[in-house]
Structure 1
């Protein structure tokens, strides 16, 4: 339908500018818009617009900014739908585990198609850390990826070799992360044995061995291998006897099972 005929319901929440900017970038990059908005005919239109969208305002705004003249819409005949915005927006956003598993499954399918590199699918994969974390989740479904994601996000890069060849590199990286996780788990168990209990224990230990946490901004960036090697050495040297409950209280962060 003509995009000028649609406007958001007047009572829904304000737009999220970062979300709109991301949609603009993705739609512009793909060159297509394939996710219909929901449209409901306005009973008594007092302006040019003839339809309200109770679900799709971010997409509508992004398309307008991109200069679209029309937009794909599912037109719902019942006017009451315009008032059901909360019910229409109940889809749960992907958590880290879901996103990483989706990326690695997509990766394995695409790797068989041609000579494409990870960089060529950067839009679909979003960030290289999801590839490696996806392999970790496949091997260890209860893996606490959220504890490692902040580090991996800083040191991972899309590989420039064909994905069918890059997959073996990613698999080795995943093994390195899981080996580190085994060390971290041992230290967490040692902390529990001395009476320290907290949902933040694993995140606390990972933060303690994170080589990037207090690294100067002007310092050279660490590669994946450099960062994981330093973390593994630090995890092996970690001394649970020096940790007090006050240290945990000061650390903050998200619980290990929040994913």
Structure 2
């Protein structure tokens, strides 16, 4: 097992010496409507990250479960930190890992609201030549498959997310509540009036907190999505392991 948190300090020394890349799952604890648990995003990120735990060339870091979720604040149970706080926490976590000699990582992200902060973290660490840590959003890796499986614009607690959680944590999905989630959902993310984006908070355009068509979810679709995204993650890890560290840093002036 290469779950860092389960190692002793002496075992961690061996694991980190052997590892070419780290995997850091990040997500959120926020509302996902009446059918999905608050931990959907960090649970999905952790499930994908843990598929790397048997690799000899990777080490899986503890999950960061709270993210940039202020736009869900009106829904009960949502936890959030500011973008600056989240960015600093992720950056400093990776900086501490780099002190132990690991300078490559993949940020396995389960929450879209984290994306800007993660890109900023990755750029800062790369510019400083501390670590090369590209963010990886699982949903971006299976967009074509999701289009084949579902007829929705989606965006949150939709058929895609519901299906993945149904596969990862069947015990936590409430199938009988999918209809209620959809009845109060919006078709797409946000609200635009004459070209201006006015959907600052989710409650501005979704009564249930969901976006999309969660009733189209199924555990079979979830298995397909999970396996396809997992394969993409491992292809990224393979690429990163093989890439020389000096090729990861910013290029100089031409």
Q: Give the structure with higher Rg (CA).
A: 1
Higher relative contact order (Cα pairs below 8 Å, separated by 6+ residues):
2
Where is the helix percentage greater, Structure 1 or Structure 2? Answer: 1
TM-score normalized with structure 2 length? 0.22
TM-score by length of 1: 0.22
